[in-house]
Amino acid sequence: MNTPPAPRIAIIGAGPGGLTCARILQRHGITAAVYDGDAGPDDRNQGGTLDLHADNGQIALREAGLLEEFFRLARPEGQEMRRMDPAGTMLFHHVPEQDERFKPEIDRGQLCDLLLDSLQPGTVRWDHTLRTISGPAEGPRQLHFANGTTVECDLVIGADGAWSKVRRAVSQATPQYSGVSFLEAWFHDVATRHPDIAELVGQGSAAAADGDRCLFAQRNSGEHIRVYIIQRVPVDWITASGLTIQDTSGIRAHLLERYRDWSPRLRRLITDNDGLYVDRPIFALPVPHTWEHNPTVTLLGDAAHLMPPLGVGVNLAMLDACELALALAHHDTVDQAVHAYEKTMLPRSTETAQLLDGAADHLLSTELPDFATADNR
């Protein structure tokens, strides 16, 4: 009896989801190539800190054989949470136990490096921006990249984020603006250059909100802090105000007017940042987002279920990646594996997305976390 040839698997996107999928596949003896449009792993800023939860993200890292290495890199102290009112009065303060491991923080770049270093050399093909996918639904598929390369494969896994090119092969859905926008500000060498802000934020995160505006600050590794200025505004609020993203002083003046009633100490999160602001409007996919099964294309993470940034995105992406890789390892055909994966992933992501539908507004809420009890204050 002839053994069928090993499927040719292409993963689009070298973020945590795509890299996790490749790593677990390799642990089961399955080869997959990862294609990413960046020129290399250091081509751009990898983003802020992530909290990996014991009931999803950490499950994926355990299957990847990387959980203990993750704990050596992670910051359990990053689970500290402070909540203030706009006057700067502390309303809630959670300090994690010394051995608390439910959702320790790790910089996104550190997590990606951990996963990249675990892969076989040459797994990730940089400078491969996907343009289109062609070929019949039953396969094989042809991937056409901006650098002129064409690759043939038997399964395309879309791990390419919010504006996924792979999604177009199975779904016409596009992300919609949530009505809430983040403006990101960076603070470097905070112990020396910004000691007051370092003390305000602590070792984890600090937030204040008034129902329409929020300031959310989060410590990263290496004495860095990122602040997210969160507002309910039109998606084009910067240009509509006669400004550009490069006009730091103009944006500061605009924000200081919007936050004029807030405490001077909190307003320093707006004015004392190092460098330009970064505009990050929040988009989400329609709920529910499902698609007709396709035997040669599937999605994971934000490509499948883009939601507001409320602590679930990377965790669901890595859990998706884990379950898809295990399905491919444990089923006889790619089609069977994709069926099994989507049978679990789609209901789970739909349930979570329904819970978070419209929840971008929660980022502006004055309500305290559910676990903010008198004992925690």
Is 44 among the annotated ligand-binding positions? yes
Exposure string for 152-181, b = 16+ CB within 10 A, e = fewer: ebbbbbbbbbbebbbbebbbebebeebebb
* Residue-by-residue pLDDT tens, the chain, 377 positions: 456 789 999 999 999 999 999 999 999 999 999 999 999 988 777 678 899 999 999 999 999 999 999 999 999 999 999 999 999 999 999 999 887 888 999 999 999 999 999 999 999 999 999 999 999 999 999 999 999 999 999 999 999 999 999 999 999 999 999 999 999 999 999 999 999 999 999 999 999 999 999 999 999 999 999 999 999 999 999 999 999 999 999 999 999 999 999 999 999 999 999 999 999 999 999 999 999 999 999 999 999 999 988 778 999 999 999 999 999 999 999 999 999 999 999 999 999 989 888 777 778 887 765 533 333 32
Q: Which CATH number goes with the domain that contains 188?
A: 3.30.9.30
Is 141 among the annotated ligand-binding positions? no
Element (H, E) at 322: helix 313-330
The reply to whether 195 and 275 lie within a common domain is: yes
Strand runs (DSSP E) across 25-172, as ranges?
32-35, 49-51, 81-84, 90-94, 105-107, 124-125, 130-134, 141-145, 150-153, 155-158
Full domain range(s) for residue 240? 178-283
Element (H, E) at 213: strand 213-220
Of 236, 253, 283, the residue that ends a domain is: 283
The reply to whether 28 and 138 lie within a common domain is: yes
Is 335 among the annotated ligand-binding positions? no
Of 241, 268, 283, the residue that ends a domain is: 283
Cβ-in-10-Å burial (0-12, 13-18, 19+) of 221 comes to: middle
Q: 315 and 57 in contact (C-beta within 8 Å)? A: yes
In whole angstroms, give the CA distance from residue 18 to residue 38: 14
Domain count, the chain: 2
Is 193 among the annotated ligand-binding positions? no
Other Cβ atoms less than 10 A from the Cβ of 217: the count is 24
Torsion sign, CA atoms 365, 369, 373, 377? negative
Token pair listed for 275: 């460098």
Does the residue 204 lie in any domain?
yes
